[in-house]
Chain A
Amino acid sequence: MGYDVKIERNLLHALFDLKGSVEDVSSYLKEHIGSIPVEPNSYVTYGNLRVLYLGINHWILLAPIDEEQKLLELLKPEFCPASISIVLISDTLKFFRINGANADDIMAVASPLNLNADAFTNNSATFSEVFGLKALIMRHGDGYQFGIDQSFGDMISDYLDLTMAR
C-alpha cells in the first residue's frame, strides 16, 4: 500500500536572490514589483510573483520560469544600486511538488520542520531541511513544494521513490 500522492519533479522557477538593507531592497522592489514582506519566513504574492523573506537582509523573488527574461529586464541586476544585490539563481534550485491525500506523510518523512497548519501557514516559506539537505519549503495547493540544491535533484528523486512505499 503506497502513499496517495502526485509528485512533480525537477521543476524550474525564475529565482532572484535579493540582498541589502530592508530600506534599500524595499525601495527598489516597491518601484518594480511591490512591497516586501515584513514577517520572517513568509511571502507576499503579486499575481504569479512571490517575494519571500528568508533571513536577515535576504529575500528571494520567485516566479514562473517563463517570466525570467521579463524580470531580468525589469530588475536590471547589473544596473541596480551598489547597496543591493540582485543575482539570477533560477538554476540553483530544483523544485519538487507533492500533492494529494498523503502529502503530509511524505513531508513528515522528508523534513523535521513543523508543518502543522498552525505553525506553517499558507504564506509561510522557509529554508529548512528535506532528506538532510537545505531546502526552501512552501505550501502548494493541498500539498507542498520544496526547492533543493540542483545537484542533489537525482538523490531527492530517489528518496521520494523510496518514501512512496510502493
Chain B
Amino acid sequence: MKNHRRLESGGRVDRSKRLNFSFNGRQYYGFEGDTLASALIANGVKVIARSFKYHRPRGIIGSGIEDPASLVELLDENASGNNLATTVILKDGLKAKSINCWPSVNFDFGSIIQYFPKLVPAGFYYKTFMWPNWHLFEPSIRKAAGLANAPQVPPKKGHFESRNAHTDVLVIGSGPAGLAASLTVAKTGVKVFLVDQNSEPGGNLLSSKLFINKQPAIAWVDDMVSELAKMDNVTHMQNSTAWAYREHNLIIVNEREVDNSSIIERSWRVRAKKVVIATGAIERALVFANNDRPGVMLASAVQTFVNRYAVKVGDNLVFFTNNDSVYSYIDDLENAGINILAIIDSRKKIPDQCLSRAKKIKVMANSILKNVNGYKQVRSINVQSLDTGKFETISCDLVAHSGGWNPAVHLHSQSRGSLKFNEKIAAFVPNKSIQNSINIGACNGTFALAEIFKETNQLMSKLSGEVKSESREDNFEVDEQHYSIEPLWSTDLSDEKEKAFFDIQNDVTYDDIQLALLEGYSNVEHVKRYTTGGMGFDQGKTGNINIIGAIAEQQGVGLDSVGTTTFRSPFTPVSFGSINGVRQGSVVLPFRHTPVTKWNLEKGAFMYEAGARWRRPGYFPKKEEGFQEAVNRECETVRYGVGVYDGSPLGKFELKGKDVGVFLDLIYTNIMSSLKPGAGRYGLMLSDDGLIFDDGVAFRIDENRWFISTSSGHSDAINQHMKKVLTFDRPDWDVKITNTTNQWNNATICGPLARQLLEKLSTNIDIDNEAFPFMTFREGMVAEIPARVIRVSFTGELSFEINVAPRNMLKLWEKIIEVGNEFKILPVGSEASHVLRVEKGFLSLGHEVDGTVDAYDLGMGWLMSKKKIDYIGKRSVNLRRGEKSKGRRELVGLLPHNPNEAIPEGAPITPKGKKVGTEGFTTACVWSVVNKRWVGLGLIEDGHSRHGEEACIRMKDRIIRAEITKPIFHDPDGKLLRS
C-alpha cells in the first residue's frame, strides 16, 4: 500500500528514510520519525484493535500515552505484549498485530458479545456465573477479555538493565516548562537529570505552530536542547518515562531506546534532592453515543498527526468541544486540506477570540453531538441543538472532540501530594506536595505558554536559591493564548440505545456508571472498583474525570466533594523485564556456594536450596540409581564406615568480652558460663514467647572468648537476636560479636572409622577419646592445614568436625576423599543427614520445631535450667505450663505396623483415624538402614505418656497405623557418638 494519507510536505518525519513494516501480516511502509500509529494512519488503516470487553472495533484515538484503544502485540525480535501503537517508534522490519480478536481484527467472532450487554453489565462477575463455581467460567471469561499474551520466548538480542542514579534535581518532562526549568537550574551548576517520555523534546510544541522569541517554537526547543547538551552537569534522556514516584524522592524511569545495543530497555531508580514535575496535560474525551468508533479522535491528536507526522487523518471533520482549544487547530488542519464542516460547541456563549478564528466555519453553539453513525469508520453524526431540541445529521469521516484538559497529576498524586479542583479549568490540580517536589506548567493547571514561562521562572528562581545561591531568570516572548471551558461531563444519554463510553480502555459505559450509582456505589472508589473505570493502563488519563463529574452531577455536589481515585504506578505500561533488570537466569534467586559446590556438581550431586539460600547436595546418585538407593548407600556408609559431610553453612559467631558467659546464660536455656576453655555444650535458644528458636553449641576458647554454632537457616536471625538483646536489653554488657560463618568452613567426617581416617589424614592433635572427648574442641594441623576440630555429632556416630579457612576447604575435602578411599568413604548429602538424625531422634528446625513446641514437648526438659534465675523465654514457658501442661503435642517415635509402609511427612494423626480434628502430625519418616524398616517422628497430644499405644495417621484414602514409641531408634545411650 502507498502512504496515500501522507502529506507532501511538513511534519518531523524524514521522507528520505523509508521503513518497511507489517501489521496483521500486511506490508506497509512509513518514515523515520513515525510511530506505528502515524504510519498506519498514513496507510489508511482505520481499525487497529478490538475493545477489551465488547470486542468493538477501535481505531486510533490519541497520539501518545493517553490513547486508550490501540494496544498491539509486537512480534519476533521486538516481541512484547501490550503496546500502544501511538508509542511504538517505527523501525524497519517491525512486525505487529492486533490483539483480542479472532480470526481477524476486521472480522472478530468475539464481537457478538456487544449484542448481549445485559449478560455482562458492570460488576457482572460479582453476581453472575456463581453456580456451580465462578472458577469454572473464569478461564473463558479471562480469555475473552483480552490483552496480549506474554512473549513465549525471550528477546534474541540483549538484556534488560536496572540501574541507580543520584541527582540534585530531577526534571520530568521536556516540554516548554521542563526545558526552561532544566536550563535555569542547570546554570547554577547543580546536577540535573531531565527525562521525557516522548521520542523528541518539546512536548506539545512539537505539534503546534507557535512562536517563541519570534521564531518557530521548535527552533527554541532546539536551542534549549543544544545548550543543555553542552553542560556536563545535565543528563538528558528522551524515550524515558517516569512511571513511579516512591518514598524519599525515588522516581523510577523506564528508558526504552538505550544507547547501548546490548540493552533492550533500562530502568533507572533516580534519587533526587528535588523533583520538578513538568508532565503537561492530557486532553480528555467527551461522552456521547458511539464515541469510540474508528474516526472519533481527540482533537489534539488530530493536530499532532497533521503537524508532527504529516498525515491527513480524515477528509471531512466535525469538532465537538466545550472549550477554546479546538479553535486554535483550525488553520493547521485546513492548511493540511482537511475540510472542517462544523464546530459543535456545548457552550451557550462562545468567546469572541474563538469565533474570530472560525469565521468561515459553521459554529453550532449550545449544541451537542448525540450520536456517531458507522461501525468500522465514522459515516455521519447526529447533532442536537439544546436551544431548539432539533436534530441535524452531518456526513463526515472524522470527529475531533475535546472535553478540556486534565493536568497530568499522576506523579504528584503517587508522591502522596494532595489535589484540589480548579473551577476555572474544570480540572484537578496539585494542591500540597508531601515530598520535596514542585509542579510547573500545564501539570500545575497553567496552560498558556506565557504563563508557563512566568511560573517556571518564579519557581525555578526559588528552587535555585534552595539548591544553590546563584540563579538566573530567562524571559521569553510568546504568542498570546486563551483558554476557557464550561464542563460537560456527559450528554443526556438516558434514552440512548447506543453505547457511550466513559472509559474506552475498559469499556465502561454511561449505563455502567448509572448502574453503579443506582446500586448504591456512591463513593468514587467504589464506582471505580465496581465498573473498572480508570483502572488498567489508562489510570485516569482520559475517562476518569468524566466519571467523577457524573457522580457529582448525580449527587448534586461539587467535584471536590467527590474527590479522585488513587493514581497508581505505573503511569504507562512497563515491561516486567525492565523492572527486573539483569536478575535472570542463574541469579533469578540468590544462591550461596561453599568451596565444595563445584566438586559436588562434578560428582553428579542432586543440588537444591537448603535454607538461607545455600545450595547444597541432597544426595549423590550413581548412574541409574534412584533417590532411595542413593540415600540408603550414604546412610550405611556413615553407620558402618565413614562419610564426609560439608557443614560449612552452619552459623558461627565469635564472642568476646567479660560478660559473654552471662550473656550466653541469658540466650540459652542451660548454663554455659561454667564451661572450661576447650569445652562446649549443646543448648537451646527460646524466643520471648518460650518457643524453641534455635539449637546449637557453645564452646569456650579462653577466659573472655567463645564461639557458638547455630543452625544454617537461622544464622542471620540469631545474629539479629543477639544484637537486639545487647542493644536494647543489656546495653551495659561487654560482649562483642563477630560473624565468622564464612571464616570457617567445615568437613565433618562421621562414622565408626572416623578416627582412623583422621589419623591417616595426619594431625598433630591427640585424637584419643580421653585426650579429646565428645563436646570439646582442639586447634592444630590436619592434612597440613591449620584447623579447629570439634567433637560434635548430628548423626549419632563418632564425628570430627574439621573447621578450616574457606581458602583451604577444597584442598582439605579432596584430601579427605583421597585418603578416605581406603575406608570406602562417601560424600553425604542432606537427605542422608536427615535420615541419620531421625534414627537418633535429633530435632530439626522446620520439622519437629514448628514454632509451637517448647523443650518439654520434645523431651528436652533437662536443658531447661532450674538453677538460673532467668533466661529468655523462661517466664513464658512457666506461664504456659502453669495454665495447661496436658494436651500438648509431644515428640514421639512412630513405627508403622507395616514396616514397609512410609508415612508422608506432615500427615495428620486423628483419634482412631476418625474424620475429626487432628491430635498431631508426622514430622518425619525415613527408611532406617539400621532397623531395615520405615521409622518416623511425630508430635502427638500427650505423646510422652502414650508409648505403646497406636497412632492412626489419616490419609485421604486409607489409615496408616503405627506404634507410638520413644523418639529414638539407634544407640539410645549415645555410646557411639562418645566413642
Interface residues of A (CB under 8 A from B): 1-2, 12, 17, 19-20, 57, 78, 82-85, 87-93, 105, 108-109, 111-116, 119, 131-133, 149-155, 158-159, 162-163, 165-166
CB-CB < 8 A to A149: which residues of B? 592, 742
- A103 → chain B, closest Cβ, in Å? 13
A90 to B736, CA, bound (A): 18
Nearest A residue to B592 via CB reads: A151
Q: Are A91 and B805 in contact (CB under 8 A)?
A: yes
Q: Taking the complex as formed, is B656 at the interface, i.e. its CB lies under 8 A from any CB of chain A?
A: yes
- B609 → chain A, closest Cβ, in Å? 13
A82 to B807, CA, bound (A): 29
For the A-B complex with A83-B657, A154-B597 known, give 18 more contacts whose Cβ atoms are closer than 8 Å: A19-B656, A19-B738, A82-B703, A83-B734, A85-B656, A87-B738, A87-B740, A89-B740, A91-B805, A92-B739, A108-B164, A108-B165, A109-B582, A111-B164, A119-B166, A132-B590, A133-B590, A163-B161
Q: Are B656 and A82 in contact (CB under 8 A)?
A: yes
Interface of A is mostly: mixed
Q: Are B738 and A85 in contact (CB under 8 A)?
A: yes
CB-CB < 8 A to A154: which residues of B? 591, 593, 597
A116 to B806, CA, bound (A): 35
- A115 → chain B, closest Cβ, in Å? 8
Q: Taking the complex as formed, is B133 at the interface, i.e. its CB lies under 8 A from any CB of chain A?
A: no
Q: With A82-B658, A87-B654, A132-B590 in contact, is A116–B166 under 8 Å at CB?
A: yes
Q: Are B582 and A159 in contact (CB under 8 A)?
A: yes
Q: Taking the complex as formed, is B159 at the interface, i.e. its CB lies under 8 A from any CB of chain A?
A: yes
Q: List residues of B (576-619) whose CB comes within 8 Å of A's CBs.
A: 581-582, 584-587, 590-594, 597, 614
A82 to B701, CA, bound (A): 13
CB-CB < 8 A to A119: which residues of B? 166
Q: Taking the complex as formed, is B152 at the interface, i.e. its CB lies under 8 A from any CB of chain A?
A: no
CB-CB < 8 A to A114: which residues of B? 166, 271
Q: With A1-B260, A162-B582, A165-B262 in contact, is A90–B704 under 8 Å at CB?
A: no
Nearest B residue to A19 via CB reads: B736
CB-CB < 8 A to B470: which residues of A? none
A131 to B741, CA, bound (A): 21
CB-CB < 8 A to B736: which residues of A? 19-20, 57, 84-85
A163 to B260, CA, bound (A): 12
Q: List residues of B (478-517) whose CB comes within 8 Å of A's CBs.
A: none
CB-CB < 8 A to A151: which residues of B? 592-594, 614, 648-649, 742
A-B contact pairs, 23 of them (CB 8 A): A1-B261, A1-B262, A19-B736, A19-B737, A78-B701, A82-B658, A91-B805, A92-B739, A92-B741, A105-B163, A109-B164, A109-B582, A114-B271, A132-B590, A150-B742, A154-B591, A155-B586, A158-B585, A158-B586, A158-B587, A162-B582, A162-B587, A165-B262
- A160 → chain B, closest Cβ, in Å? 9
A77 to B649, CA, bound (A): 25
Nearest A residue to B161 via CB reads: A109
Nearest B residue to A163 via CB reads: B582
CB-CB < 8 A to A20: which residues of B? 736
Q: With A1-B262, A165-B260 in contact, is A85–B161 under 8 Å at CB?
A: no
CB-CB < 8 A to A105: which residues of B? 163
Q: Are B742 and A109 in contact (CB under 8 A)?
A: no
- A95 → chain B, closest Cβ, in Å? 13
Total count of chain B residues near the partner, CB < 8 A: 51
Q: Are A89 and B743 in contact (CB under 8 A)?
A: yes
Q: Are B742 and A82 in contact (CB under 8 A)?
A: no
CB-CB < 8 A to B457: which residues of A? none
Nearest B residue to A131 via CB reads: B587
Max count, chain B CB within 10 A of own CB: residue among A83, A87, A93, A166: A87
Q: List residues of B (126-178) whose CB comes within 8 Å of A's CBs.
A: 158-159, 161-166
- B614 → chain A, closest Cβ, in Å? 7
Q: Are B805 and A90 in contact (CB under 8 A)?
A: yes
Q: Are A91 and B742 in contact (CB under 8 A)?
A: yes
Q: Taking the complex as formed, is B46 at the interface, i.e. its CB lies under 8 A from any CB of chain A?
A: no
The residue that B807 contacts in the complex, of A12, A84, A163, A166, with Cβ under 8 A, is: A12
CB-CB < 8 A to A116: which residues of B? 166, 191
Q: Are A78 and B734 in contact (CB under 8 A)?
A: no
- B654 → chain A, closest Cβ, in Å? 5
Q: Are B738 and A89 in contact (CB under 8 A)?
A: yes
A108 to B738, CA, bound (A): 30
A22 to B704, CA, bound (A): 20
Q: Taking the complex as formed, is B553 at the interface, i.e. its CB lies under 8 A from any CB of chain A?
A: no
- B199 → chain A, closest Cβ, in Å? 21
Interface string of B615-653 (1 = CB under 8 A from A): 000000000000000000000000000000000110000
Q: Taking the complex as formed, is B705 at the interface, i.e. its CB lies under 8 A from any CB of chain A?
A: yes
Max count, chain B CB within 10 A of own CB: residue among A1, A20, A132: A1
Nearest A residue to B167 via CB reads: A116
CB-CB < 8 A to A150: which residues of B? 742, 806
Interface string of B196-209 (1 = CB under 8 A from A): 00000000000000
Q: Taking the complex as formed, is B263 at the interface, i.e. its CB lies under 8 A from any CB of chain A?
A: yes
Q: Are B590 and A162 in contact (CB under 8 A)?
A: no
9 A-B pairs closest in CB distance: A151-B592, A165-B262, A85-B736, A85-B656, A19-B736, A114-B166, A87-B738, A162-B582, A108-B163
The residue that A92 contacts in the complex, of B191, B261, B740, with Cβ under 8 A, is: B740
The residue that B738 contacts in the complex, of A17, A57, A82, A111, with Cβ under 8 A, is: A17
Q: Taking the complex as formed, is B50 at the interface, i.e. its CB lies under 8 A from any CB of chain A?
A: no
- A107 → chain B, closest Cβ, in Å? 9
- A125 → chain B, closest Cβ, in Å? 18
Q: Taking the complex as formed, is B269 at the interface, i.e. its CB lies under 8 A from any CB of chain A?
A: yes
- B632 → chain A, closest Cβ, in Å? 30
Max count, chain B CB within 10 A of own CB: residue among A82, A90, A133: A82
